[in-house]
């Protein structure tokens, strides 16, 4: 059945991005007398906080994603367009799409999020150390992890098998810690009894952080507990070490920004590993560069207190793409889902006010804290009122994540999958969709100095 058509006489609000901020804005405008067009280059809203579970085979992709069109199906005033925005002209109030078409707007909410950033090394490092931002990234990472185990089963050479079974995660923020914990669980539990020619528990999982401690945005006491838990379960945590080079054989490390808990973990070294994963940084989406203001080092667009583009009160920028001042210490609102939701809803509220002839109001960030898992059945919860580590924190993590998932179907499925995994130790997503590439490379000879990017003498196997 065709639903009511949007009224073209009403003010036109364009939302770029159907992530947390864009969806929150669309929901706020559902019952308003406006015509909304939401443009996303993907057809699905992605629940990024659980993406690491797709990458590590605990969940399937549709469990953490939902078609934007379906999520907004009851919004009679909203049209969803699948397309990539390549530019915005805030003076002319026009949005340009990849196919050359243009859409005029009365109000614009740019909620295009962020993408992976390899700190100026995107060209060399992105192919050897994939980041985690999209479902494609998660599939790529899953293929590499499972492929390394498959190859190890057929590898007669002990040194090369050790290299195949070394997994390095760069960046010990929540995503890096969650990935490392899950990789460790795969080797210690999921893969147990699955192979005949090696012991999967011999796999090495190494978590590297350039700063003095892991989880720098969490309270230090909680981060210390998390580090101890990781170490106890078998993850090698190395802080104060910065990655200086990555190639298909592993990483070079040099002294980083500081020492962790009294001593530096390691002197500069070479770490040979077949699988290197990047969890060290993101940068504001490309479309931010077309808005006519200078972005910050993280590619974020500075906005006014009302979340508008300076000089353009009808153009808002929200979510991970926005640089929003917070407090008096020069802090900015963090790039997390609750902040994006609050900003998206606030920008839509300001649009409503402007349409009604009222002045827009300043955005006030309500800090609800942060949480992260640390391997199986342990998590940290760090809110202004509550600091918790362990099983109870994990139960809270489960509850909150189920609550925030975008569709009822996903909530039910994910809860079931977690319950099943908790008792069976299984990971149902252990399906390799494409044949994993054989690791052509070999570990470097032991006498090679860090920073030497020379090739090994022996040619890659056919």
Ligand X SMILES: Cc1cc2nc3c(=O)[nH]c(=O)nc-3n(C[C@H](O)[C@H](O)[C@H](O)COP(=O)(O)OP(=O)(O)OC[C@H]3O[C@@H](n4cnc5c(N)ncnc54)[C@H](O)[C@@H]3O)c2cc1C
Positions marked active-site: 178
CA 301 to chain centre: 19
Q: Is 102 within 8 Å of 94 (Cβ atoms)?
A: yes
Closer of 41 and 442 to ligand X (Cβ): 41
Minimum CB distance to ligand X, residue 172 (Å): 13
Q: Which residues contact 263 (CB under 8 A, 6 or more apart)?
A: none
Dihedral of CA atoms 24, 116, 144, 271 in degrees, nearest 10, equals -140
Q: Which residues contact 358 (CB under 8 A, 6 or more apart)?
A: none
Q: Is 374 within 8 Å of 183 (Cβ atoms)?
A: no
Closer of 251 and 280 to ligand X (Cβ): 280
Closer of 110 and 444 to ligand X (Cβ): 110
Q: Which residues contact 312 (CB under 8 A, 6 or more apart)?
A: 90, 91
Closer of 42 and 70 to ligand X (Cβ): 42
Minimum CB distance to ligand X, residue 117 (Å): 11
Q: Is 165 within 8 Å of 206 (Cβ atoms)?
A: no
Closer of 58 and 337 to ligand X (Cβ): 337
Which residues lie near ligand X (CB under 6 A)? 16-22, 39-42, 48-49, 51-52, 84-85, 111-113, 132-133, 174-175, 285, 287, 319-321, 335-338, 340
Tokens 């340009």 sit at which residue?
Answer: 96
Ranked by CB distance to ligand X, the top (closest) residue is: 19
Minimum CB distance to ligand X, residue 26 (Å): 11
Minimum CB distance to ligand X, residue 141 (Å): 10
Q: Is 50 within 8 Å of 59 (Cβ atoms)?
A: yes
Minimum CB distance to ligand X, residue 204 (Å): 22
Closer of 18 and 130 to ligand X (Cβ): 18
Minimum CB distance to ligand X, residue 221 (Å): 20
Name which of 172, 205, 174 is nearest 187 in CA terms: 205
Closer of 174 and 200 to ligand X (Cβ): 174
Give, in order, the Cα–Cα distances in Å from 403 to each of 372, 379, 397: 15, 17, 10
Minimum CB distance to ligand X, residue 138 (Å): 9
Name which of 293, 287, 278 is nearest 96 in CA terms: 287
Length of the chain: 462
Q: Which residues pair with 13 in a beta bridge?
A: 36, 107
Minimum CB distance to ligand X, residue 148 (Å): 20
Closer of 112 and 182 to ligand X (Cβ): 112
Q: Is 318 within 8 Å of 25 (Cβ atoms)?
A: yes
């Amino acid at each position: 059945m065709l639903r009511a058509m949007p009224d073209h006489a009403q003010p036109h609000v364009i939302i770029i991005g159907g992530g947390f901020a864009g969806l929150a804005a669309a929901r706020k405008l559902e019952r308003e007398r406006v015509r909304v067009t939401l443009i996303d280059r993907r057809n699905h809203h992605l629940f990024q906080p659980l993406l690491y579970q797709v990458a590590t085979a605990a969940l399937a992709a549709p469990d953490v994603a939902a078609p934007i069109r379906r999520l907004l199906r009851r919004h009679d005033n909203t049209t969803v367009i699948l397309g990539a925005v390549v530019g915005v002209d805030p003076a002319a109030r026009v949005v340009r799409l990849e196919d050359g078409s243009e859409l005029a707007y009365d109000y614009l909410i740019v909620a295009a999020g962020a993408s992976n950033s390899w700190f100026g090394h995107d060209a060399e490092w992105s192919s050897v150390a994939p980041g985690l931002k999209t479902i494609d990234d998660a599939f790529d990472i899953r293929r590499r992890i499972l492929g390394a185990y498959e190859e190890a089963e057929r590898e007669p050479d002990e040194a090369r098998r050790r290299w195949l079974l070394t997994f390095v995660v760069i960046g010990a923020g929540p995503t890096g810690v969650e990935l490392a914990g899950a990789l460790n669980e795969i080797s210690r539990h999921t893969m147990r009894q699955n192979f005949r020619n090696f012991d999967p528990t011999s796999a090495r999982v190494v978590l590297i952080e350039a700063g003095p401690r892991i989880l720098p945005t969490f309270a230090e006491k909680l981060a210390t507990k998390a580090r101890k838990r990781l170490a106890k379960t078998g993850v090698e945590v190395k802080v104060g070490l910065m990655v200086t080079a990555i190639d298909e054989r592993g990483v070079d490390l040099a002294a980083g920004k500081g020492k962790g808990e009294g001593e530096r973990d390691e002197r500069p070294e070479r770490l040979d590993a077949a699988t290197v994963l990047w969890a060290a940084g993101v940068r504001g989406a490309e479309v931010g560069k077309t808005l006519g203001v200078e972005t910050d080092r993280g590619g974020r667009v500075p906005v006014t207190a009302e979340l508008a583009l300076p000089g353009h009160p009808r153009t808002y920028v929200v979510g991970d793409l926005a640089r929003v001042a917070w407090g008096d210490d020069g802090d900015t609102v963090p790039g997390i889902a609750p902040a994006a939701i609050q900003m998206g809803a606030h920008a839509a509220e300001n649009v409503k006010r402007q349409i009604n002839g009222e002045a827009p109001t300043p955005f006030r960030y309500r800090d609800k804290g942060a949480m992260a898992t640390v391997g199986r059945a342990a998590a940290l919860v760090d809110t202004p009122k509550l600091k918790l580590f362990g099983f109870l924190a994990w139960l809270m993590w489960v509850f909150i994540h189920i609550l925030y998932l975008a569709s009822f179907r996903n909530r039910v499925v994910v809860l079931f999958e977690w319950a099943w995994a908790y008792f069976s130790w299984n990971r149902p997503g252990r399906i390799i969709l494409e044949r994993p590439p054989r690791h052509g490379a070999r570990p470097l000879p032991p006498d090679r100095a860090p920073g030497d990017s020379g090739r090994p003498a022996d040619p890659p196997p056919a």
